[in-house]
A = this chain, B = another copy of it.
Amino acid sequence: MAKAKQKNPKIEKPTILITNDDGVTAPGIAALVEVAKQYGKVVVVAPDTPQSGMGHAITIGDPLRINSVNLFGPDVEAYQCSGTPVDCVKLAVDVILHKKPDYCFSGINHGSNASINVIYSGTMSAAMEAHIENIPAIGFSYMDYSFDADFSLAQQVANEAIHHMIHGIIPPNGLYNVNIPKIDPKKYKGLKVCRQAHAKYQEKFLERIDPHGKKYYWLTGEFKNLDKSKDTDVYALANNYASIVPVQYDLTDYQLMDKIKL
């Protein structure tokens, strides 16, 4: 009996944490769960409300709530949390799993997180939080914002990237930002290793007047690519590739550092 209970690390399935920033009910996370289930035991811990654009926000001044949900079938343990995507990863490790999962996959985001979007993205920040904890992590984003988006190409690419990570084809100690173009799947050329394109948003706030005569503003903006090189994620996506950018969280500008003499 004692023998039967013993764990065999070679045949035990890995634990895979799935999260996102669009919220636990978004179609994109269901699409990712479907792919990840083939590779291990999936546990979903995701925000209970949409958290797009939350960046690396954490909840300091408010308590957090966790509730079980049954959204992904009987084999998938799932929870919705009241916090941000980064809170979800922290709660998953410390309160829900009581251990680090073997992998963390975030997404599939409804909309691009290529280029400068990486710093605003809750999807990528959740994956980065896992990376800070030394959990192999990938964030997935599909360049279609619509609720009814067809995730079949995104699932194909997610499957490819997860396979590469689990089999060590991409170093599993890394963090990766994978973006998938909205194209006819027949035109898809493959996964291309890229750097983050230098780009920004040109903001334009819309001014409106509320029923009480007071002004309010909606953030809108246009994406401006300032980088015409062919080694960027933006270029790859415009040329029928999915992009994979290895990401790190040391923000030190070493080039500038060498120039300063105080």
Q: A64 contacts the other chain (Cβ, under 8 Å)?
A: yes
CB-nearest residue of chain B to A208: B63
Decide if A215 is an interface residue (CB 8 Å cutoff).
Answer: yes
Contacts of A218 in B (CB 8 A): 63-64
Q: In the complex, what residue of chain B is closest to A231 when comparing beta carbons?
A: B257
Protomer copies? 2
Contacts of A159-212 to chain B: CB distance below 8 A: 164, 169-171, 174-175, 177, 190-193, 195-196, 198, 200, 203-205, 207-208
| Interface residue A133 (Cβ < 8 Å from any Cβ of B) | yes
Structural contact, B219 and A59, CB atoms closer than 8 A: yes
* Chain A binding surface SS class: mixed
A170 to B86 alpha-carbon distance, docked (Å) = 34
Q: Which of A57, A60, A65, A128 has most B Cβ within 10 Å? A: A57
Does A153 make an interface contact (CB < 8 A)?
no
Determine if B192 and A262 form an interchain contact, defined as CB atoms under 8 angstroms apart.
yes
Task: Offer 30 A-B interface pairs, CB within 8 angstroms, sorted by A.
Answer: A50-B61, A53-B57, A53-B59, A54-B57, A57-B57, A57-B84, A63-B208, A63-B216, A63-B218, A86-B120, A90-B203, A90-B219, A94-B204, A95-B217, A116-B249, A119-B125, A119-B249, A169-B262, A171-B260, A191-B262, A193-B257, A195-B254, A196-B250, A196-B252, A198-B250, A244-B260, A245-B252, A246-B260, A248-B253, A251-B251
